[in-house]
Structures are given as structure tokens and as C-alpha cells.
Amino acid sequence: MFSFKFEPTQPGRSRLGSISTPHGVVETPAFIFCATKAAMKSLSAEDMKAADTQIILSNTYHLMLQPGPEVVEKMGGLQKFTGWRGPMLTDSGGFQIFSLGHGSVASEIKGKRMTGRKKTLLRISEEGARFRSYLNGREYLLTPEESIRIQRQLGADLIVVLDECTPYHVDKNYTAESMEMSHRWALRSLAEFKRGDTGTQQLYGIIQGGVYPDLRKAGCDFVNSHPFFGHAVGGSLGASKEQMHDVVSLATEHLCRERPIHLLGIGGISDIFSGVEQGIDTFDCVHPTRLARHGGALVRSMHNPDETREHINLRNSQFRLDGNPIESDCPCATCKNYSRAYIHHLLKAQELLAYTLISIHNVSFMNRLMTAIRRALKEGTFAQVKKSWSRS
């Protein structure tokens, strides 16, 4: 039921591929949208389909707390529960445990400062991660085995091993020891996966190692030597675009080519072009829908007067009387039917419809972007297409 096929393309280590799953085929390079709590923020499964979405992901951390994996299982698994009948991925729960636990690893990973959020991580040990529910304070222990069992109950096509996601500020020693433990956790995840394997799911291994080249290389060697279906590049990608580029490049250089490679948590337009060039097959990020909730609409550079951004902010008063759609050449339901002026009004009036309309555009935009990239790889026009979608 599962397979990954690819053919090398230009430039760099780029490639065109397809991941076959029981719920359909994902043409790669592809973007995976975050339906964190088994729902896209303000969008229905039909909206996602109409915007040409191939695959979405949900977060084990959120779903194990609410509604609980047993509810999703009883309701027939994520695809039946959510109405999204296409391919899905779940993460292991680790990222959010450490992210919410430390304050915010999400910021750390992108080299930003720690935020003051309340810590919920109680203890990391060989056994697993002990943390408190952010909903009711209840204590949980997530082990590698438990993460796999929960992801089996949730029922996504692609699932991920539990790892410790190390933040940017920790030193090399901690990063190395943490990675070693993550490797032991990965083997326990793999063993638990094999125990219950019915052929309806496939497991991704994760490469940690922070910004340290020798650790990253060891991480690649580790996953290469075990029977994972795919690989995900995780952990801290450094404090700058250059450092991220180096970390990703090092990973894709050492990872075996036969398995799909996912880059965790990255979704900027120029970052995607850069990732594709280095051989990344899939990306995920909350960016398209989170941006929408702040009034930001993704636009190609030709539609953007602000050279430093990949979006326009429809809250700005310059759009008050702008009768044009977000992008004049965009075929999405929002651009076909609504003006910037109307969405500006909806944002000012705090109408929920604003978030839906911008999200439809942003999701459609990301899917158009990935389609354009795949066509460019096929036709050998990557450089031109990159230039027409991004400034950098």
C-alpha cells in the first residue's frame, strides 16, 4: 500500500517524487498543512480539498489530551473523524511536550528568544517525558511505546518516532547525549511499531544533532541503518537562514536517497525553494493559517509592494477601498469572490469569516506554489520559477 518513488532533477539534490498511502498519493515536493487539533483553523475538509490540498497532519500531543486517542479510535480514526479522506501524518507528541515544556522550543528552533510561557515539562528520563496537561494540570508520561500506540489509535498513514527536541541554547554535550537517548527511543518506537504493524501505517525516523555537523552526520547514519519508511529533519536548525541552510544541506547529503525526507516546521516561501534545492520532499508549518489569523495573506512578489515580506497585511488601511482580490491571478474561492476591501472590513469588524477567507487563499497559495515547483523541476525552469515566487 505504501511506496516512495522519485527521479532526480536539477538544481542541486532536488527531486520529483510520489508517496503512495492507503488514502492516496502525495506528489512531492509537497506541503503538509497543520490540522493541530484534528481541524484546520477555520477551514473544513471540503475547503482544504477545494484548495487542492494533498496531505495534512495532526498533533499527537494535543489529541492525546483532547479528545483522547480512544475517542478518535472509536470514531474510526482521524480520517473518518475529521472528514478529511486524504493522506495524513501525525507527529510523536515530543515536539509540543518540549516546546510548551521549555517555554517555547518553536521559537528556539528558529533561533528566536525564549518566551515566558509557563513550563509544563516535569522530567525527561530514559523512560520518557513526564508533563502536565495544559488543559487541566493532569500528569502524563509519554514513552516511545506509548507515542506509537497513540498514533496507531489516531490512525494517520505516516507516523513519527518520539524524540527529544533540543532547543537552540543547549550546548554540544547536552545535544549529543540527548541525541543518543533519542536514538534509543527511536529503536523502542520502531520495536513497538513492528509489534502492532498491520501494514496501514509507516514510520518516520528523526534526525537530531542541533547545529553540530558531526552530530547531524551521526544522526543520519543512525536513521539510514534502520528500517524507517522516511526521515524527518528535526531539532534546532540554527539562528539564521545560513545556519538552517547548512544543517539541512548536511542532512540531505548524508541521508539515504531512497526514503522521503521531511523538514519539520519550515514554511517560508524562500525557505521552501532552498529546501527543495537541497533535496527536501515535504515541509510542514502552521504559518499559512497562523498568518491568516493575523490578517496576513501570502502573495507573490509581483503583488507585494513590501520587498521584505512574503505577505500583505489586509488590516492595513491602504486596503480600505481596494476592490481587487488578494491576488488578481489566483483561482482560489476567496480571490474569485471577494475583494481586499471586504476582507479588510471583516478584519476590522472582527468577523470570523475574515480568517476563513484568508486561510482559503493561503492554503491554495501554498498548494499552487508546490505545484509550480514540481512543474519547474519537470521542465527545468526552477531558477525562473523561484524568481517569480520569491525575492531571495
DSSP notation for 339-391: -HHHHHHHHHTT-THHHHHHHHHHHHHHHHHHHHHHHHHHHT-HHHHHHHH--
**Minimum CB–partner distance for residue 100 and a copy of itself (Å):** 16
Nearer to a copy of itself, 70 or 221 (CB): 70
Question: CA-CA distance, 342 to 332, in Å (whole number)?
Answer: 16
Distinct helix (H) and strand (E) counts, the chain? 16, 16
**Minimum CB–partner distance for residue 328 and a copy of itself (Å):** 16
**Minimum CB–partner distance for residue 189 and a copy of itself (Å):** 26
Nearer to a copy of itself, 307 or 349 (CB): 349
- Residues found near a copy of itself in the complex (CB under 8 A): 37-46, 62, 66-67, 71, 74-76, 81-83, 320-321, 323, 333, 337-339, 341-342, 344-346, 348-349, 351-353, 355-357
**Minimum CB–partner distance for residue 152 and a copy of itself (Å):** 19
Name the active-site residue from 91, 157, 163, 281.
91
Nearer to a copy of itself, 73 or 180 (CB): 73
CB 63 within 8 A of CB 38: yes
Nearer to a copy of itself, 45 or 263 (CB): 45
Active site residue 246: no
Orientation of helix 172-195 relative to helix 213-224, angle to 10°: 10
Nearer to a copy of itself, 124 or 341 (CB): 341
Name the active-site residue from 163, 171, 284, 329.
284
| Torsion sign, CA atoms 386, 247, 204, 63 | negative
Question: CA-CA distance, 88 to 36, in Å (whole number)?
Answer: 12
Question: CA-CA distance, 312 to 319, in Å (whole number)?
Answer: 10
Active site residue 91: yes
Looking at 161-286, list the stretches that DSSP marks H as alpha helix, in order from N- to C-terminal side.
172-195, 213-224, 241-254, 269-277
- DSSP-derived letter for residue 117 is P
Question: CA-CA distance, 48 to 256, in Å (whole number)?
Answer: 32
**Minimum CB–partner distance for residue 235 and a copy of itself (Å):** 28
Residues forming the active site: 91, 284
